[in-house]
Chain A
Amino acid sequence: MPRLIRITDPARRDTSVVMERARRPPRWRLAGPDGGDVDYATLIKATEGRDHAALLARFGDDDALAAALVAGDPEIDLELVGRRLRPDDSDRVWVKPDGSVLYSVRTLRVTTDPSGTEIGREDFVTVEATVNEDEALPWTGRLYPKSEVVHRFALVRTVMLHHVDGLTFDFLRDIARTLADEDKMALVGSGPRGGQPLVFQANGTPYRGFLEGRVEGEAFRLLLHLSNFELKRPT
């Protein structure tokens, strides 16, 4: 499904358009020594009850365990080790400290500071997406020179806003032309005044957005550059 975004232009009109990611076809693929195809495979290499602690409990002491390792392969489940694991062969579960499967989940949000020290632990609350096709992102009117944006923020993702019909073509091209004429980028955020972050899916990464427009004849590009950190040195 295409991802829609509802944006507002400087005239305070809003509409839904499509976001598209960059498509740079891979220039090469990994191959074997002879150029033949290779596949990335996940194989089982160890199974529960075969680790050192379990084997020690099973054989009683180090000497007995050592003798068992010499006599056979108790650490290897020959039925399972080496078996290929495919996504549709298995389910993800949570495992309790005692090794049993967890059935009643409690989710916490743990916050650590930049040094990695835990500074908070509380019940997790879902952060809803702030970008969707129903709620229009306001035109903030806050324009920044491109050089300032590039010098202040790491722009870690970019999506292109794509028209869905002739009307939205004109809508997007006009925004692109306005920004190109000003040679500036527009801050994009969520909330009534655009001061809140852009979150594209529930619990997803929060971003600041910067809209950049380029025009060439009748053609245009309107790009939403996304940043989630500033260009600063860690303290």
Chain B
Amino acid sequence: MRSIYKYFYDIFHGFYSLWTGMMTTGYYLVHPKKILTQEYPDNRGTTLYIAERFHGEVVMPHDENNEHRCTACSLCQMSCPNGSIEVKSEMIETPEGKKKKVLKQWIYHIDLCTFCGSCIDACPSDAIRMSNEFEHASYTKDAFLKVLNKPGSKLKSKEK
């Protein structure tokens, strides 16, 4: 008896689930405004939406005084799994006569980068972050070697 009940239950339940599925797709058919596709090359610079958390490339934010927050500790370089980061630093003497390590060049090989974001996690002073810029295609290899600190930039002094 139970098996007979199950037989007919299966049939009607099957039709119910078919109905549910077809109503879902039918709803999408008559609501074209819900379409998720972005017509990319056409909407470039107008309605193109890239999520803020998208891992596009590593950037180093500079403030209006051309100051960054990188202390050249090179933790990012060590955390990078494929060696796409080179942190070049130099020792300078401050006016007070102290010796101090400052950033010379933060070299980013974007052609080696897998956009894993380990460097951002490793950075103790939030000097770098991921931007959602994704159009990196280039005809020359030079474009893949980037120096992230702007020329003449300085370390931001600590807020007290």
A and B: interacting chains: no
Which residues on B are within 8 Å of A, measured CB to CB?
none
Q: Which residues of A contact B (CB under 8 A)?
A: none
